[in-house]
Amino acid sequence: MQSSIDRSSLLPFYHQLKQILLGEMESRELKPGDRLPGDHELCERYGVSRTVVRQALAELESEGVIERIKGRGTFVAHPKTPEGLVQSLTGLYEDVAARGGHLRSQVRRLAVVPADAQVAGALDVPPGHPVIVIERLRFVEEEPWVLTITHVPQEVAPGLVDEDLTQESLYALLEGRYGVRLVQGRRSVEAAVASAELARSLGVNRGAPVLVLRSVSVGEQGRPVESFVAFHRGDRSRFEVELSRQQGAPPRPLMIVTD
């Protein structure tokens, strides 16, 4: 394992330093949250400029290996939980379980309410139509990860208000108990910052980055049966997208620019 900068090598110093740091993290068995040496200490230890150190750390940060917190230092990053965004209509529960993780939900609200204009539009029902609202704070490995607000037309799953959703997958429940087969959907993701209330729920600072995922799922009859908006911690989540290109297919707008 390389432990010092080889000044005769053709490899850039920043690349060598990056590999050295990766090796040290592995050999010392550092865990998420463990502190790493500061910029000044790295400069002195390896005899390189601050520019070299910053470039090496920037690459490690972009790859999700470390996280730098202003005023506190550099730390081994917590692994981000991937969630499938396109191609497969799965929920967070299924995504986390498929990767061997554990997810539980704190159900903050489970009630029948009249649909407002936005929810009515998403579910293709008249405003005021009775819908079931489910507000859940989702924990991955006992750490708050995402706040989700889901709406389901009441007639789709009338007994849903009496279900225990703390450990249950909503999609599995809809399909297994209520015979609702989800066949397609559409999802979008955008960047935002955490409000004071959202920050308290997710355990982050006010103004911290969040990823906002919006989704509408459609059943066999071609009508929307579920919609949700989910606020993901930006420091703990990433979305994975599988892509394919169809020859001769008409172009579809995939990016929407908003004011």
| Average pLDDT taken over every residue of the chain | 83
Percent of the chain with pLDDT over 70: 82
User: Is the confidence at residue 257, as pLDDT, over 90?
Assistant: no
Among 151, 149, 234, smallest CA distance to 199 is for: 234
pLDDT tens by residue, 238-255: 776 666 666 665 555 554
Q: Give 210-236 pLDDT, tens digit per residue.
A: 988 888 999 988 899 999 989 989 887
* Beta bridge mates, 74: 36, 68
Q: Which two tokens stand for residue 155?
A: 């007639």
What lies within 8 Å, CB to CB, of 126 at 6+ separation is 115, 120
Q: Give residue 105's pLDDT.
A: 87
Confirm if 116 and 125 have CB atoms less than 8 A apart: no
DSSP H helices in 128-246: 170-178, 196-202
Given a contact cutoff of 8 angstroms between Cβ atoms, the answer to whether 226 and 174 are in contact is yes
- In 7-123, the DSSP E strands lie at 35-36, 66-69, 73-76, 81-84, 103-114
Task: List residues bridging with 219 in a β-sheet.
Answer: 182
Alpha-carbon gap, residue 238 to 211, rounded angstroms: 9
Contact 93/155 with Cβ under 8 angstroms? no
- pLDDT of 183 reads 86
Rounded to the nearest 5°, which phi and psi values hold at 174?
-60, -40
Whether the pTM exceeds 0.85: the reply is no
Query: pLDDT tens digits, residue range 51-92?
Result: 999 989 988 886 678 888 878 889 988 765 555 444 444 455
List, for residues 137-147, the tens digit of each pLDDT value.
Answer: 988 778 898 99
Structure tokens at 99: 């990767």
Q: Phi, psi (5° rounding) for residue 152? A: -135, 130
> What local confidence, expressed as pLDDT, does residue 96 receive?
53
Residue type (1 letter), 116: D
Q: Which long-range contacts (CB under 8 A, 24 or more apart) does 53-58 make?
A: 53/14, 53/17, 55/14, 56/14, 56/15, 56/17, 56/18, 56/21
Neighbours of 159 (CB within 10 A): 10
